[in-house]
Structure 1
Amino acid sequence: MKNALLTFSFLFFSAVVLAQTEFPKTAMEISPLLIGEKIPNLSLKSADNVDVNLSDFFANKKTILVFYRGGWCPYCNLHLVALGESEKELLELGYQIIAVSPDSPMKLKMTDEKNKLNYSLLSDSNGALSRAVGIAFQAPTTYKSIVNEGSDGGNTASFLPVPSVFIVDVTGVIQFEHITPDYKHRISNDLLIAAAKSLK
């Protein structure tokens, strides 16, 4: 009986510790995938609330994979618009753009319509992809209500992705990455296009 109680206590303590350490506490503590590693094939929701597999997207052409905090973030919206301005040149280079956030499909649609975007927005509301890529961290307390509102309650873990841009090949292997823990700073179009050209 004593052994069973000790085992239960250990399992309970382990579960509590795991829950507390599910995400790094700050943007500076993340451990992202590296160049040469592969983005896992996970299923996400489109802005039309349809399940889509990343590998199906990647198989079409080389991809500019962007992670942003949400449509509520003004810096993210500026970046999404800037990406739209470079999309024509990136398309001519043989790339496509996919942007991922914790936002719900409904919120993605609102962001898409507001910014008049032509590329795909995908929902990672449970953080599975952001966590697997190693860029998710625990949302600061002051952000939790904003994050949960943006995800319509889907973002139950109250996480944020560190704004990131990956260039991946048709198999999902990372060829370039730009990760910015300071959310106010994003990769410039000039640098992104230069990187895309160098990998063409």
Structure 2
Amino acid sequence: MARYYDVHPVDPQPRSINQAVDILRDGGLIAYPTDSCFALGAMLGNADAKDRIMRIRQLDDKHHFTLMCHDFAQLGQFVIIDNKVFRALKAATPGQYTFILPATSEVPRRFMHAKKKTVGVRIPSHPVVHSLLSALGEPLLTSTLLLPGEDEPMVDGWSIKDRLDHEVDAVIDSGECGTEPTTVVDFASGYPEIVRVGAGDPTPFE
């Protein structure tokens, strides 16, 4: 059964956050709120958790996994980014965007896109995620909690606990969060290509 943590949306309790981090470090998979919707998260080196995410969401190898990063210093370790792209990303973050960029050697190959060698990255504006990332000290391998056959991501913590009780190891709930996935912008070719219009305003990248 999954552990359930009910945390404050602005000032999450350190004890709960640290317990969730311990679960991640022990190889666990968690469901957690972001500024766009709930997501599934695991440590970057956790190959088993990647397989679990793919099984829960019924994904194929064309799926872009995302690294949820605490800040630009962390993000810069995992993707190749030139000055022009950096300025574009800096103007839009933190926020409800996922950016696809060429991965550095810091990203294990199994977590890159199978053919393009790219990975998604984002810097959220949700206090709970920032607390989680700060305590963890590294990015979270992340995928939107959108189940097969569903048109919208899951947004209620108790419903997630009930439905995925034997699929995830913990659920972090902070009440209402975003209800729409991020806007995805692909910079792999050096210029912005909007892959998905979501919660973030796509206008700056059109």
Pick the structure with greater CA Rg: 1
Using structure 2 for the length normalisation, give the TM-score: 0.26
Structure with greater contact order relative to length (CA < 8 Å, sep ≥ 6): 2
TM-score (norm 1): 0.27
Q: Which has the higher helix share?
A: 1
